[in-house]
Structure 1
Amino acid sequence: MSDDVWTMETLTQIDNSLESNDLDDVEDFQLTKEQEQARFSNPVSEEEILDLQRSRIPRNTKRNTQWSVNVYDGWACARNTRVKTYGTTHSERYAYVVTLTKDITAEEFDFWMCRFICEVRRQDGSPYPSMSLKSLCLGILRYIKEEYKRFDLNLMATDNAQFSRLRATLDGQMKKLDSEGVGNVVKQAKHTSPLEEEKLWETGTFGIDNSEFLFNTVYFYNCKIFGLRAADEHSSLHVDQFVFGKDDEGEFVDFLGGTCKNNQGGLKQGGKVRTATRLFHNKVDEQLVREMTGHRSLAVRAYKCTSETQEKEISDLLQPPKPKESKIEPKTSPPKSPVVTCILPDKSDAKPVTIKCTKRNGDSFEIMF
C-alpha cells in the first residue's frame, strides 16, 4: 500500500466514485432503538482483524515467505552448529547467527544477510539462481515487516544507507551467478500453436458433444481469451462474471475478473488510473506518464488500457479455428447396365420362339428357343 492512499485527494476520489445507492439517505427514515441495535455487526476481536489483514496476502506469497524463513532458519542452524564444532577462523563481530525476531538490530540484520546471500544453497548443495536468491531476501523482508512491524529494516530501499553493503552484496552475487550460467533455463508454459489448437478440435479433445469435451473447451478458452491462469481463478468463477451483449460490431462476451493472485481487489487509486490511461491513449511517452502520476516503478504500465477497437481485433485473433469445409465428395450410384428392349411374338404361334432384343446404344440381336 502506498504512502498517499489516505491523502485528501485520494479520499475525494473515493467519495466521487461511490454510486448514490451506496449511501444511506438518513433523513428519509427514523430507526427505533431495536432497529439501531440490530443494524450493525457484532463487535470483532483483535484476532479477527488480524485474520482479515492476513487474508489480503495471496496464497503463493504466503508460501514464498514461509519458504524464505525456513531456508534462513536452516542456514542459521547449520552455520551455528559448524561454529560450535570447529570454531571460527575469522575475527567477526558476531559468532552466532541471530534469529529473525522483533529485537534484531539493523546492524545484525545487515551483517548476517550479507553472509546468508553468499552462503545459502539449495538442498542438493547447488547455488540458487539469481532471481531465487533475490526472492529469498524479499521473503525474509516481508516476514519481519508483517510479523514484527520492523519497517525500518527495508533493505531494498535505495535511500536507506545503512543497508548499502547488503544491496551491493546481493547485486554482486546475482551478477556472479548469472555469469556462471546458474538457472539460465527458464521454466515457462509451452505455447499452443494454431495447428495444435486445430488438432485438439479434430481429435475430439475439444467439442460440445459431451460434458468432458465441453469442459476442456471452456477451460482452454477461458485461459486463452480471458487470461485465467491459477486454478483458484477457474474454481471460483461465477456466471455473473460473464456479461453477454451486442453492439455495432456484433455479439460479445465481457468478462468481469474477480480477485486472484495478481488482482486482490481492495483500494484503487482511481485518479491515477484515469490520468495514466488517458495519457497512454494519446501516445504520451511512458517516462512522462510516470512523472505526471508520481509512479516510480514500472507498475504504471498496468494502466495501458486498450481501446474498444483494439479489444475487438484481439478478440478476433483469439477465437477458435473456423470449421473446415468437408472434402468428402458426394456418393454416386454405380453406372446402370445397358437397357435391353425385348419384343415378344404372339404366344399362339406354335413355331419356335424368336425374341428380338435391342440395346440402348441401338445394337440389336435375336434369341431363339
Structure 2
Amino acid sequence: MEYGQFKVEWPSMSETDNSDNILFEASQIAEQELNSDQQTAKGASNTVYHTNSSHYSDISEDDCDNLEVTKLVESTVVNSRQFGKTVSENELKDIVFSRLSPNTVAKSKWAVRTFHDWQNYRRTVATTSAIKTFQGDLLQMTKEQLNDALGYFIVEIKKQDGSEYKGQTLYELISAIQYHLRLNGVIVHFLEDNEFIGMRNVLDAKMKELSRRGIGLDKKRADIISVENEDILWKKGILGSDTPKQLLDTIFYLIGLNFALRAGKEHRNLRYGQNSHLSIHTSESGDQYLQYTEDVSKTNQGGLKHQKHKKKVVRAYENLDIPERCIVRLYEKYIRLRPKTCACDAFYLQPAKLNSKEHWYNSIPVGVHTLQNLVKNMCLRGGMTGNFTNHSLRATAATRLYNAGVDEQLIAETTGHSSDAIRVYKRTSNAQLQDVSDIIQNKRKKCKQENIPKSGIQEPSSRELSIENEHFKFNLKF
C-alpha cells in the first residue's frame, strides 16, 4: 500500500508466524526513510508512521486473513520553537487576572473590605435581637441575604470621619461588590434582578436624600486650559525647549493636548523604538506631521469585546506659524537628545543631572507619580488657580474643537470616545453663558453686518431693506 511517499507491503498473518517482528521491521524502515528526508529538509515538519499497537496476540488468524493493511497513526516531530514555556494552573490564573483593570480591582477590594468591617461593627453593637446581624462571607450568601444585608449597609455606611458618602460613591460601592461576586463565579445583577428590588429601593431613596441635602451635587471635573493661560506658560518659560526639564514638560503637554491622552497611564504606556506609538510622516502636499497610533486604551484593550473597535489614529501637523511651539520640531529635538542606546522602551525618560549637548536624558523612565502631577505643577508655577490635572489636556482638546464647530464624530475620533460620551467634555464658555442671559432678558445685541452681493440688493434706508432679482422683489420694513 502506498502512503505518502512510502510503499509498504504487509504479509498476511497466515503466511508467517512472526507477525510482530515483521510489523516492527516495517515501521523501522518507514522511520529511517523519514529521518533521511529530515536531513535534507531541516526545519520542516516531518511525519513518522507507526502501527497502532505492538501486540497482536488477541487477533485471530481468521481475522488476519482479511486484514489487508494495519492502520497507521500519524505523529509529528515537535518543533520546540513552535511552543512557549509550559504554564502551571496558577500561572494561567495570573494571565487571566492580568486582563482586569487594576483600578477596578482595587475598588472592588476596598468595597469588600468596607462591607466586612461593617459586618463586624454591626455584630458588636447588636445588643438586642431587634438588630439583625449578617454572618458569613459575601460569596456564601444567598440572594435573599445579600438583598437584606446590602440594604442596611447602604444606609449605615459612613466615611471614617463620620461624614456621608456621596450618592455616586454608594452606587460605586454596590457595583464594586457585584464585580467581586462575578469575578468569583457568583453571577448577580443588582440593578436588574427581581431578588434585589429591596436593595435598589433603599439605594434610590438614599441617593435622593443626599441630593436634597446638597451632598455630592458638585462633580469635580478637570478645568480646561484657556489659550490665554497657555500663552502664559510659554511666556514664563514653563513651556519651551531650553533645558531637559522644560523640554520634557513641553513634549508631555503637547502630546497630551494634541492626541487627547488620558491622565498619566496612557502617557506612561507610551513606547519609543520598536512598535512606537509615535512616528513622523510627510503628507502628499509635503507637510510633516506627528502621528499617534493607539494600541491599548481604557476603551480599547484589544480583547474579545474590542475586535471591531476602530483604532485611534491622530495627526498633529507642524506649526509653521510659531516654529518654537511646533510639536514636530520639539519631538525631533527630544528624540535626538535621548540616549542612542536605551535599555527601556519608555518614551518619557528622566533628565540627566550631568547633561551634554548630545545627551540630555538617562535610560530611566519617569515615574508614574511624577507624570500624574506634571500638568498640576506646571499650572501652579504659572500662577493658575483651579483644578488642573493631566486630564485637563484632554478636556481642553475636546472643548476647543467644540467651540470651533468641529463635527462630534471628528472630535470623538481625536479623543477616542464614542460620539455620545464625548459630550461630557464640552465646556460652556463665559460668552455663551452671557448670550443665554441676554436672550432671556431680551437685551439688544449688536448685529453682525453680513456681506451680501450688491447685484441682488439695493441700498436700504435706515428703516427699510429691499431685495430683488429677475424673479421677485420685496421690501422689508422695520
The verdict on a shared fold, with TM-score over 0.5 as the criterion, is: yes
Match of residue 31, structure 1, among 31, 41, 45: 45
Larger RCO: 1 or 2 (CA < 8 Å, sep 6+): 1
CA RMSD of aligned residues (A): 2.7
Match of 2:150 in 1: 113
Mark the CA change 1:49 to 1:237 in structure 2 (over 3 Å): closer, same or farther.
Answer: same
Distance in 2 between the 1:154 and 1:186 partners?
27
The reply to whether residue 245 of structure 1 matches residue 281 of structure 2 is yes
Specify the structure having the higher radius of gyration (Cα): 1
The reply to whether residue 62 of structure 1 matches residue 95 of structure 2 is no
Give the fraction of aligned pairs with identical amino acids, expressed as a percent. Answer: 26
- Verify the 8 A CA contact 1:141 1:155 in the aligned structure 2: yes
Amino acid at match of 1:154: H
| Secondary structure of residue in 1 paired with 2:290 | strand
Distance in 1 between the 2:219 and 2:412 partners?
34
Structure 1 unpaired stretches of 5+ = 1-28, 275-303, 312-369
Match of 2:198 in 1: 165
Name whichever structure is richer in helix by fraction. Answer: 1
Mark the CA change 1:87 to 1:125 in structure 2 (over 3 Å): closer, same or farther.
Answer: same
Mapping for residues 205-224 of structure 1, pairs under 5 Å? 205-224=238-257
Mapping for residues 288-367 of structure 1, pairs under 5 Å? 305-306=409-410
Match of 1:360 in 2: none
- Verify the 8 A CA contact 2:300 2:306 in the aligned structure 1: no
Structure 2 unpaired stretches of 5+ = 1-42, 47-75, 311-407, 416-478
- Verify the 8 A CA contact 1:244 1:251 in the aligned structure 2: yes
Match of 1:348 in 2: none
Mapping for residues 88-99 of structure 1, pairs under 5 Å? 88-89=129-130, 95-99=132-136
- CA shift for structure 1 position 210: 1.8
Distance in 1 between the 2:168 and 2:264 partners?
24
| Residues 202-246 of structure 1 deviation map (CA, whole Å, 9 limit, x = unaligned) | 111111122111111011112211122332322221131113223
Match of 1:43 in 2: 86
Amino acid at match of 2:234: W
- Verify the 8 A CA contact 1:242 1:254 in the aligned structure 2: yes
- Verify the 8 A CA contact 1:65 1:139 in the aligned structure 2: yes
The reply to whether residue 230 of structure 1 matches residue 263 of structure 2 is yes
- Verify the 8 A CA contact 1:230 1:261 in the aligned structure 2: no
Mark the CA change 1:230 to 1:308 in structure 2 (over 3 Å): closer, same or farther.
Answer: closer
Mark the CA change 1:172 to 1:222 in structure 2 (over 3 Å): closer, same or farther.
Answer: same
Match of 2:160 in 1: 123
Mapping for residues 67-216 of structure 1, pairs under 5 Å? 67-83=110-126, 86-89=127-130, 95-147=132-184, 149-151=185-187, 153-156=188-191, 158=192, 160-216=193-249
Distance in 2 between the 1:309 and 1:65 partners?
31
Amino acid at match of 1:244: I
- Verify the 8 A CA contact 1:58 1:260 in the aligned structure 2: no
Distance in 2 between the 1:308 and 1:66 partners?
33
TM-score by length of 1: 0.60
- CA shift for structure 1 position 55: 0.8
| Secondary structure of residue in 2 paired with 1:255 | strand
Mark the CA change 1:248 to 1:211 in structure 2 (over 3 Å): closer, same or farther.
Answer: same
Distance in 2 between the 1:119 and 1:171 partners?
15
| Secondary structure of residue in 1 paired with 2:289 | strand
Mark the CA change 1:41 to 1:232 in structure 2 (over 3 Å): closer, same or farther.
Answer: same
- CA shift for structure 1 position 196: 0.9
Mark the CA change 1:161 to 1:52 in structure 2 (over 3 Å): closer, same or farther.
Answer: same
Match of residue 303, structure 2, among 266, 273, 277: 266
Distance in 2 between the 1:308 and 1:77 partners?
47
Distance in 2 between the 1:196 and 1:224 partners?
14
Mark the CA change 1:46 to 1:305 in structure 2 (over 3 Å): closer, same or farther.
Answer: farther
- CA shift for structure 1 position 270: 4.7
- Verify the 8 A CA contact 1:58 1:264 in the aligned structure 2: no
- Verify the 8 A CA contact 2:260 2:414 in the aligned structure 1: no
Mark the CA change 1:154 to 1:252 in structure 2 (over 3 Å): closer, same or farther.
Answer: same
Mark the CA change 1:270 to 1:60 in structure 2 (over 3 Å): closer, same or farther.
Answer: closer
Distance in 2 between the 1:166 and 1:309 partners?
39
Mark the CA change 1:310 to 1:263 in structure 2 (over 3 Å): closer, same or farther.
Answer: closer
- CA shift for structure 1 position 260: 4.1
Aligned residues: 244
| Residues 341-363 of structure 1 deviation map (CA, whole Å, 9 limit, x = unaligned) | xxxxxxxxxxxxxxxxxxxxxxx
Amino acid at match of 1:128: Y
- Verify the 8 A CA contact 1:242 1:256 in the aligned structure 2: yes
- Verify the 8 A CA contact 2:138 2:146 in the aligned structure 1: no
